[in-house]
Structure 1
Amino acid sequence: MNQGLLGKVGMDPKMALGYLGVMIFMIGEGLELGWLSSYLIDSGLTVQQSALLFSVYGFAVAIAAWLSGVLAEILGARRAMIWGVALFTAGTLVFLTAGIPTMNLGIMIPTYALRGLGYPLFAYSFLVWLTYYAPQEKLGTAVGWFWVSFAAGLNVLGAYYSSFALPYLGEIRTLWSALIFTVLGAAVGIFLNKEDKSSNSKKRFETKADALKYIAKGITIAFEKPKVGIGGIVRTINTAGAYGIVVFMPVYMMEIGFTRTEWLQIYGALWTSNVIFNLIFGIVGDKLGWRNTVMWFGGVGCGITFAGLYYVPYFMGANYWATTAIAIAFGACLAAYVPLSALIPSLAPGNRGAAMSILNLGAGLSTFIGPVIVGAFIGSVGVVGIIWIFTGLHIVSALLMKFVTLPKDSLDIEVKTYKAAQ
């Protein structure tokens, strides 16, 4: 009966525990995103120093995200996920015991970066596993469920958990509680999830040199198949603004008149919408075309709604419901980039892991590029200038998608899938 219910909503029962494990793990990763920057600034760091911390963290995420695709194929997805848990745990322990108490950037930057190496290896290795397991005609829905789990933990449940935990636990104990979620998520996603040997992502290599050559494939494929490289750029733009706002938007919103709790709830509403629409746009992409979904709902939609994040509270003041509504709209449009996770590996069916490495690199780079843009330009162009930079980037991503077309045989699959649904 449970299998029937899961099947009706497009989720494979064999991978359900994997989705659940990713969601729980990402609560631990994301519980501080909506408030850590403002806490560090209140504790003595400047906005630029906070941006530097998040930028280096984002660079570490980018490296781990790039490696996750090929490492999942070299080591196997499970082993790569275990490495992710270990790195996250080690980084968290040192960051909280030696970094935060001293506010010493020399300790905080490398240890927070070590923490950032962990979650891409855990989450994106599972995504590679999923692209091997799910059938082509249902791949958009399958990755939609992945991004539902990912965003639900990272941006929704983490934010809402913090809004309730901070008044009772304080900042430091709330950060410590992250380890509870990551360990529990790892137990569910790695050890309870039953592996299907027929869809194992692990490749066999004759020598270590062959394995290293395949790691390099995670970069060279972007040049061998330029459409894969363009997809990686679009994925970078996708969430660059979303990661950039965590550096400056909490301070801006509180200057407007919102409380920290209200901001966290608005931020949580943004990502709650994103979770719901991750699945919706995964299904829409399977029916109406992956490229068109990303181009119009993603690029153009985000360009409009991201600007609204600034102008709605600017003109209406600390209007909780109006600001929540535009945040919900932006979160929905962010989800329209989800079909990239089906489109890009389909451009390289013989090297899905390498293609996913480019996509994952883009996802990781967004956590780096977003804070870098804020740190580099906020002093000269202010908050409104930063808003327009990210708005422009979303429009550029829509234009780039004009060039990301599937080969004819893959297009036939999309057409048949669409006709079958009528």
Structure 2
Amino acid sequence: MSLNNKQWFGLPLNLIWGYIAIAIFMTGDGFELAFLSHYITELGFTPAEASFAFTLYGLAAALSAWVSGVVAEIITPQKTMLIGFLIWCVFHVLFLTFGLGHANYGLMLLFYGIRGFAYPLFLYSFIVAIVHNVKSDGVSSALGWFWAVYSIGIGVFGSYIPSFTIPHIGELGTLWMALVFCISGGLIAIVSMRHIKTPHHMQNLTTREKFNELGRAATLIYSNRNIMLSSMVRIINTLSLFGFAIVMPMMFVDKLGFTTSEWLQVWAVFFFTTIFSNVFWGILGEKMGWMKVVRWFGCVGMALSSLAFYYIPQYFGHNFAMALVPAILLGIFVAAFVPMAAVFPALEPKHKGAAISVYNLSAGLSNFLAPAIAVIVLPYFSTIGVVVAYTTLYVLAFFLCAYIRVEQPGFESNETRAISTAKNVQIS
């Protein structure tokens, strides 16, 4: 397959409308992220019940993410994105109408849970399109842009827009407005990606062979030790991102006196920072080394900034300017895990779709475990317990990174250079 190599600072120009579609779609999907848990408690449910709704949603997202890579290779990324787009729209309407609209907890769990299958199919299938349309030594930069537009959507616009609309049309009205963005993003993706090159090597497989390849997304976790360790690191990556969106509104709004709009603007600054840090770490990963960036800047940086996100606001109280400091730090270092998306297919070059599915599963499990940890820890240790739990796991990821071995295309590690130099000396 010939690849279009035209790029602008690592951004593949042949996929630019796909990137725009991701940004718009994830804007709509992100409206709820930083205020839905608080809104559910305002309807009369407990923080634990609100967290459980997110836990169920995260479990559905994890399962969907797991199969998305292989499914995208089997039926093409375009068709997989279409399926995710349709599921999102249908069950979002049902969730708002019969779940939140009637404060029916059972229907909330049902429709919100099913909707959790949608966004990973739309979002992560685009990674397959990137991997098959960009040369391997440029994938890290292209994925940096992918996570940048993801942040623009789910974090920046997804937080800033509700901060202005909620005072005027309320939380439920804002959630209805999200449907407009998701429909727009979905239609742009459907139209713009019709002629994008797609993998064809699996479309002629028998049904049994397709199921075998789908199963490989699970077996890789225990058959490839490096994939297993990388999966654990990727799960830990976004724990604070998904967890803080749930537990921090209760701390900032209910205990420190911030308004919901102020909290949403703090959260938007976090995501705004990731726009630049995603691109920066993606490019630096190609120069400095994928795992070195992940270990020293991702793991260490997230451990420290997660603690800062709790202690700085606690110390300074209702101080908007100081609350932005840990938000910016978190935004800088969470993106240092971007090279992990390039690590997985490099570890299994003959089964890239399955490897990407494991990556996606790991991202989905992060979405599931972050609120699950909050559900378990909150009743006993409050917000600080959740923060310490996440921090401890980032420290664990630091040590796991030391055992991951991956050959990075176009990059010669110090160890490889040393071996090469030794051989040259012996030859001479």
The change in CA–CA distance for 1:109 and 1:202 in structure 2 (over 3 A counts) is farther
Task: Please give the residue correspondences for 1:204-283 in structure 2 after superposition, counting only pairs within 5 Å.
Answer: 204-254=203-253, 255-283=255-283
User: Higher mean Cα deviation, 68-77 or 169-178?
Assistant: 169-178
Per the alignment, residue 105 of structure 1 pairs with: 105
Q: Distance in 2 between matches of 1:352 and 1:8?
A: 25
How far apart are residue 179 of structure 1 and its match?
Answer: 1.3
Q: Distance in 2 between matches of 1:124 and 1:30?
A: 16
Per the alignment, residue 288 of structure 2 pairs with: 288
Q: Distance in 2 between matches of 1:311 and 1:206?
A: 55
Check whether the contact 2:10–2:142 (CA below 8 A) recurs between aligned residues. Answer: yes
How far apart are residue 190 of structure 1 and its match?
Answer: 2.3
Q: Distance in 2 between matches of 1:191 and 1:225?
A: 38
For structure 1, which runs of at least 5 residues remain unmatched after alignment? 1-5
Q: Distance in 2 between matches of 1:122 and 1:195?
A: 17
Indicate yes or no: 2:412 matched with 1:415: yes
Instruction: Look up the SS of the partner of 2:351 in the other structure.
Output: helix
Per the alignment, residue 95 of structure 2 pairs with: 95
Task: Please give the residue correspondences for 1:370-389 in structure 2 after superposition, counting only pairs within 5 Å.
Answer: 370-389=370-389
For structure 2, which runs of at least 5 residues remain unmatched after alignment? 1-5, 418-428
Amino acid at match of 1:154: I
Check whether the contact 1:47–1:247 (CA below 8 A) recurs between aligned residues. Answer: no
Check whether the contact 2:88–2:115 (CA below 8 A) recurs between aligned residues. Answer: yes
The change in CA–CA distance for 1:323 and 1:184 in structure 2 (over 3 A counts) is same
Q: Distance in 2 between matches of 1:414 and 1:75?
A: 33
How far apart are residue 201 of structure 1 and its match?
Answer: 6.0
Q: Distance in 2 between matches of 1:190 and 1:279?
A: 25
How far apart are residue 226 of structure 1 and its match?
Answer: 1.4
Q: What's the % identity of the aligned pairs?
A: 33
Cα RMSD between the aligned structures? 1.5
Instruction: Look up the SS of the partner of 1:415 in the other structure.
Output: coil
Check whether the contact 2:75–2:203 (CA below 8 A) recurs between aligned residues. Answer: no
Task: Please give the residue correspondences for 1:76-95 in structure 2 after superposition, counting only pairs within 5 Å.
Answer: 76-95=76-95
TM-score (norm 1): 0.94
How far apart are residue 259 of structure 1 and its match?
Answer: 1.4
How far apart are residue 11 of structure 1 and its match?
Answer: 1.3
Check whether the contact 1:14–1:193 (CA below 8 A) recurs between aligned residues. Answer: no
Q: Distance in 2 between matches of 1:39 and 1:172?
A: 9
| Alignment coverage as a number of residue pairs | 408
TM-score (norm 2): 0.93
Amino acid at match of 1:337: F
Per the alignment, residue 133 of structure 1 pairs with: 133
Amino acid at match of 1:149: V
Per the alignment, residue 73 of structure 1 pairs with: 73
How far apart are residue 195 of structure 1 and its match?
Answer: 2.7
Check whether the contact 1:91–1:113 (CA below 8 A) recurs between aligned residues. Answer: no
Q: Distance in 2 between matches of 1:46 and 1:302?
A: 29
Check whether the contact 1:166–1:174 (CA below 8 A) recurs between aligned residues. Answer: yes
How far apart are residue 202 of structure 1 and its match?
Answer: 6.0
How far apart are residue 194 of structure 1 and its match?
Answer: 4.7
Per the alignment, residue 142 of structure 2 pairs with: 142
Instruction: Look up the SS of the partner of 1:190 in the other structure.
Output: helix
Check whether the contact 1:77–1:202 (CA below 8 A) recurs between aligned residues. Answer: no
Check whether the contact 1:62–1:360 (CA below 8 A) recurs between aligned residues. Answer: yes
Per the alignment, residue 345 of structure 1 pairs with: 345
User: Higher mean Cα deviation, 170-179 or 44-53?
Assistant: 170-179
Q: Distance in 1 between matches of 2:211 and 2:322?
A: 52
Q: Distance in 2 between matches of 1:126 and 1:173?
A: 30
Structure with greater helix percent: 1
Check whether the contact 1:88–1:119 (CA below 8 A) recurs between aligned residues. Answer: yes
Per-residue CA deviations over 1:154-204 (Å, capped at 9, x if unaligned) read 11111011111111221111111111111111111221235333x536623
Instruction: Look up the SS of the partner of 1:350 in the other structure.
Output: coil
User: Higher mean Cα deviation, 358-367 or 187-196?
Assistant: 187-196
Per the alignment, residue 304 of structure 1 pairs with: 304
Per the alignment, residue 336 of structure 2 pairs with: 336
Instruction: Look up the SS of the partner of 1:403 in the other structure.
Output: coil
Check whether the contact 2:74–2:202 (CA below 8 A) recurs between aligned residues. Answer: yes
Instruction: Look up the SS of the partner of 2:45 in the other structure.
Output: coil
The change in CA–CA distance for 1:313 and 1:48 in structure 2 (over 3 A counts) is same
Q: Distance in 1 between matches of 2:8 and 2:372?
A: 43
Check whether the contact 2:78–2:193 (CA below 8 A) recurs between aligned residues. Answer: no
Per the alignment, residue 3 of structure 1 pairs with: none
Amino acid at match of 1:53: A
Check whether the contact 2:378–2:386 (CA below 8 A) recurs between aligned residues. Answer: yes
Per-residue CA deviations over 1:235-267 (Å, capped at 9, x if unaligned) read 111111211112211010121121111111000
Per-residue CA deviations over 1:72-111 (Å, capped at 9, x if unaligned) read 0111110000000111112101101101122222100110
How far apart are residue 205 of structure 1 and its match?
Answer: 3.7
Check whether the contact 1:25–1:186 (CA below 8 A) recurs between aligned residues. Answer: yes
